[in-house]
Structure 1
Amino acid sequence: MPSPSSRIVAVAAALATAAVVASCSAATDHSQHGSSATTSSAVVAAHNADDVMFAQMMIPHHQQAVELSALVPQHTANQALVALAAKISGEQQPEINAMKALLLQWDVDPGAMGDHSGMAMQGMVDDATMAKLNSLRGPEFDTLWLQSMINHHQGAIEMANNEIAKGQSADMITMAKAMVAAQQAEINQMKQMLGE
C-alpha cells in the first residue's frame, strides 16, 4: 500500500497535469467561442472557502516545520532525531507543493494569506523559541525541539480535523487525513523520545 506522502506526490502530479491540460485546451479552443472557459473550469474540482483557508494557513505552517527540521543536523548528534527531522521534512515539502498546486487550480495566489494573515495558526513556534533553538546544542536542543514540534504537530492536526469536517475538496480532505495519521504517529514517537 503506498505511503500517505507518495499518494500526495501522485495527487500533486495529477493536479499539475490537469492544470496543463486545462491551459492547453483553453488556449487552443478559440474556434468555439465561450467553450474554452467551460473546458478549463470543468477540470477544477469542487472546493469551498474552508479548503482555500486551510491551504493558505497550512503552507506557512508546514514551511516552519521544514525550517525546524533543517536545524536538527547542525544542533544535535542524536541520530534518531536527525532521522525523524528528515522524515518530517520529506513528508511536508510534497504536501506544500500539492497545496500550492491546488490553490493555483482554484485561481488563488499560493503566496497570499487572504484574509487570514491576522489569524493565529495553532502550534506555530514563536520567534523567541526559534532563537533559543538556534543557540542550543545537544540534549538541551533535542528536548526543546521535540517539545516545540509536538506542539506544532498538534496545531496542524487541529487545523486538518477542521478541514476534514468543513472542507469540500476531495483532494484537500484526503491530504488532511494523511496529515492527521502521519503527525499523530510522529507525536507518539516524539513523546517516547522525551520519555513521556
Structure 2
Amino acid sequence: MTHVYRTTAASAALLAAVFGVAGCGDSDAGTMPGMNHGSSPSASASTTAVFNDADVAFATQMIPHHQQAITMADLAVKKATTAEVKKLATAIKAAQDPEIKQLSGWLTSWGKPVPTPGEHSGHTMTGMMGPQEMDDLTKASGTMFDRMWTEMMIKHHQGAVAMAKTEQTTGKDTASVALAAKIQTAQTTEIATMQRLLGRLPTA
C-alpha cells in the first residue's frame, strides 16, 4: 500500500505542476519569443495588439506623407545654400525613413496593403504638396529654394501633426498611438525651428 500511496502522491504533484505552469503561461502567451509569426522587429509591438480602422488609416496615410518629406529633404541636401536648411533636411530624412519601415511593418502584420513609393501623387492629405508645387521646388535655386523649401516643409509638418493628433484620439493600437505622439512632438519642434529660420531668409 505504501508503494501505491507514493505513486499516487507523485502523480498528483506532477499534475499540479503541469496545470500550474499552464495557468501561469496563459497571460504571457502573446509575448512569448517566437510568437510573432515571422513579423519584422519593428512590427512585433503591434502584431498581437488590438487595432482599428483609424490605426490602419494613420499608417497608410503617414507612409506616403513621409515619403514626400524625404523626397523634399533629398532636394534640400543637394540644392540648399543655407547650412541650417541642409541640417534640417538631413535630420528629417534620418527620422522619417525608419518610421516608414515601422509603419510598413505594422500594416503587413495586420494583413493590410503597404503604399508603394510614388503613390502619394494621387493623395490630397493635409500638408501634401501637389505636382506643380514639387515641380516649382525642383526648379528653384539659391536662397529662393531655401525659402520655398522651408515654407513647404512647415506646411508639410503641420499636416503630419494634424494626422498624429487624430491618431492619438481615435486609434487603438498602443504602438501606433505612441509613434503619433512622438511625431507630434518632434515635428512641432521642427516647425518652430523652421519658422525662426524663415525670418532670416531673404524674400527676394
Pairwise TM-score range, normalised by the shorter structure: 0.7 to 0.9
Contact preservation (8 Å) 2:77, 2:90: no
| Match 2:50 to one of 43, 46, 51 | 46
Larger gyration radius, structure 1 or structure 2: 2
In structure 2, the partner of 1:38 is: none
**Superposition deviation, residue 18 in structure 1:** 8.8
Residues in 2 aligned to 1:19 and 1:132: alpha-carbon distance in whole angstroms: 50
| CA root-mean-square deviation | 2.5
Letter of the aligned partner of 1:44 in structure 2? T
In structure 1, the partner of 2:199 is: 195
In structure 1, the partner of 2:36 is: 22
In structure 1, the partner of 2:143 is: 139
Identical-residue share of aligned pairs (%): 35
| Match 2:72 to one of 63, 68, 80 | 68
Instruction: Answer yes or no: is 1:186 the counterpart of 2:184.
Output: no
In structure 1, the partner of 2:175 is: 171
Contact preservation (8 Å) 2:70, 2:93: yes
Contact preservation (8 Å) 2:47, 2:106: no
| Match 2:112 to one of 104, 108, 123 | 108
Residues in 1 aligned to 2:175 and 2:140: alpha-carbon distance in whole angstroms: 39
**Superposition deviation, residue 110 in structure 1:** 1.3
Residues in 1 aligned to 2:57 and 2:171: alpha-carbon distance in whole angstroms: 10
Instruction: Answer yes or no: is 1:154 the counterpart of 2:168.
Output: no
Distance 1:19 1:107, change over 3 A: farther
Instruction: Answer yes or no: is 1:86 the counterpart of 2:90.
Output: yes
Residues in 2 aligned to 1:19 and 1:95: alpha-carbon distance in whole angstroms: 24
Residues in 2 aligned to 1:187 and 1:170: alpha-carbon distance in whole angstroms: 26
Secondary structure in structure 2 of the residue aligned to 1:121: coil
Letter of the aligned partner of 1:22 in structure 2? N
In structure 1, the partner of 2:127 is: 123
Residues in 2 aligned to 1:170 and 1:65: alpha-carbon distance in whole angstroms: 25
**Superposition deviation, residue 48 in structure 1:** 0.5
Q: Deviations over 1:127-150 (max 9, x none)?
A: 111111111111100111000000
Residues in 2 aligned to 1:139 and 1:20: alpha-carbon distance in whole angstroms: 53
Letter of the aligned partner of 1:101 in structure 2? G
Secondary structure in structure 2 of the residue aligned to 1:22: coil
**Ranges in structure 2 where 5+ consecutive residues have no aligned partner:** 1-30, 39-45
Residues in 2 aligned to 1:49 and 1:156: alpha-carbon distance in whole angstroms: 18
Residues in 2 aligned to 1:18 and 1:118: alpha-carbon distance in whole angstroms: 41
Contact preservation (8 Å) 1:44, 1:106: no
**Superposition deviation, residue 163 in structure 1:** 0.3
Distance 1:23 1:47, change over 3 A: same
